[in-house]
Amino acid sequence: MVGVTALRRIRWRLKILSALRQLRFRDEAPLIMGHHFPKWFVLMLVLATALCGCGVQSAVDSAKTGAAPASTTEEIAGNAIADQDAAEGGGGEMGADPQTAPPAERKIIYTAVVDLVVDDFTETDRKIQALTKEFGGFIAEFREDRTYGDRRSGRWVVRTPVRRFQEFLDQVVALGVPETRQMDAQDVTEEYVDLEARLASKKRLEERILQLLEERAGEIKDVIVVEQELARVREEIERMEGRLRFLANRVELTTITITAREEVDYEPPQAPTFTGKVQSTWSQSLTALGRTLEALALTVVALFPWFVLLLLIGTPFAMGLARWWRRRTPQPAEVIDPGASSISS
């Protein structure tokens, strides 16, 4: 009974600490367990306890600094839990035969991705909603796009029960021409079982700490240390419970991502031949040329307003600059011909 012995040691240490405080502040013989003992007897008892490794000095230091004792609450409670399991089940799971232990139920998360080409997008949307309702699922996300004119495309994220996962997937694939069909399975059994075991252990530890908190009578500092340990254990329990709920939801409901685009008279691509490659290359070249001319025309259209604006602003400026230049440049003097003046006279 290691756990019970540890608890008794802790209680004995607390009583010794109480005796030490009485020795400090009282001159009379201290009272221990209802009896008065001389000071020298108490000092010898403390010295013997320290030599036996009971950790009295550690307890005194922890009482001074407000820290936890050397044997933490979790260690004490863990020892008590181990003793309790050993007493109830003769060693618990460690004593069980691994061959006779029942196998754990498999926990598998299924996901799938389907890309479809359909003739009528509206009809496909209606059928997906009807199938989801029929199979007991729900649409977690939906998005619709109109990228190229009247051609519509959309994306659905559907959650359906795992027991009808394959049937629902087959019904969805039949709505159009499947371009992509992918299915993944993630086994989380090990994580799920480990979380369950750790959660059960933490809950037993929580109960033991609560019991220790009720039985333990000491200073406020000691109570605060135990309460902090209890808060930490409860936080871990809540985190594990949240993770278990998340895994359980993912296991019970599969996630299917459906993408569909509208294209009338669609034909799946065939294996390319030489003629097909020539036609494809010629078509790609013409497409590239058309896009280049289109980009050039758009560039001209984009620059034309700026050209008109520069023309409107630059023409008056250029005319004013030319006029100013003519005024500043001296005009040549007029030369009078004497012969012409005499003839005229």
Same-domain status, 154 and 24: no
- What token pair was written down for 13? 């240490």
Same-domain status, 61 and 201: no
Same-domain status, 144 and 218: yes
The reply to whether 229 falls in a domain is yes
Same-domain status, 25 and 126: no
- What token pair was written down for 102? 């029942």
**Residue where a domain terminates, one of 240, 267, 294:** 267
- What token pair was written down for 220? 């406020």
State the pTM of this model: 0.51
Q: What are phi and psi of 69, to 5 degrees?
A: -65, 170
Q: Count H helices and E strands in the chain, helices first.
A: 10, 7
- Which pLDDT does position 90 carry in this prediction? 42
Instruction: Round to whole Å and give the CA distance between 144 and 142.
Output: 7
- Which pLDDT does position 71 carry in this prediction? 44
Closest Cα to residue 251, out of 199, 200, 191?
A: 191
The reply to whether 81 falls in a domain is no
Same-domain status, 7 and 63: yes
Same-domain status, 142 and 210: yes
Instruction: Round to whole Å and give the CA distance between 203 and 193.
Output: 15
Residue by residue, pLDDT tens for the chain (345 residues) are 444 455 566 666 666 666 555 555 444 444 454 455 555 565 566 556 554 544 434 443 443 444 344 344 445 445 544 444 444 444 444 444 444 555 668 899 999 999 999 888 889 999 999 999 999 999 999 998 876 566 788 999 999 999 999 999 999 999 988 888 999 999 999 999 999 999 999 999 989 888 887 876 667 777 788 888 889 999 999 999 999 999 999 999 999 999 998 887 666 666 677 787 888 889 899 999 999 999 999 999 999 899 888 888 888 888 888 888 877 776 665 555 555 555 555
β-bridge partners, 159:
138, 255
* Region label for 71, one of left (φ > 0), alpha (ψ between -120 and 50) or beta (otherwise): beta
- What token pair was written down for 89? 């089940």
Same-domain status, 128 and 195: yes
- Which pLDDT does position 337 carry in this prediction? 55
The reply to whether 99 falls in a domain is no
Q: What is the DSSP letter of 68?
A: P
Instruction: Round to whole Å and give the CA distance between 263 and 266.
Output: 6
The reply to whether 23 falls in a domain is yes
The reply to whether 311 falls in a domain is no
Residue 86 has, within 13 A of its CA and on its CB side, a CA count of: 9
The reply to whether 93 falls in a domain is no
- What token pair was written down for 218? 């000491």
Closest Cα to residue 23, out of 8, 10, 41, 11?
A: 41
Domain hosting 113: range is 104-267
**Residue where a domain terminates, one of 225, 242, 267:** 267
Same-domain status, 127 and 247: yes
Instruction: Report DSSP letters for 323-340, one per residue.
Output: HHHHHHSPPPPPPPPHHH
Same-domain status, 213 and 118: yes
CA dihedral 62, 64, 66, 72 (to 10 degrees): 10
The reply to whether 84 falls in a domain is no
Task: Give the Cα-Cα-Cα angle 218, 200, 96 (nearest 5 degrees).
Answer: 115
Same-domain status, 40 and 130: no
- What token pair was written down for 284? 């790609």
Helix H or strand E segment including 155: strand 151-161
Closest Cα to residue 151, out of 199, 123, 196, 119?
A: 119
The reply to whether 89 falls in a domain is no
**Residue where a domain terminates, one of 267, 286, 315:** 267
Within 10 angstroms of residue 22's Cβ, the number of other Cβ atoms is 16
Same-domain status, 123 and 190: yes
The answer to whether 114 and 254 have CB atoms below 8 angstroms apart is no
- Which pLDDT does position 77 carry in this prediction? 47
Same-domain status, 118 and 15: no
Per the structure, the count of domains in the chain is 2
Handedness of CA 312, 313, 316, 317 (dihedral sign): negative
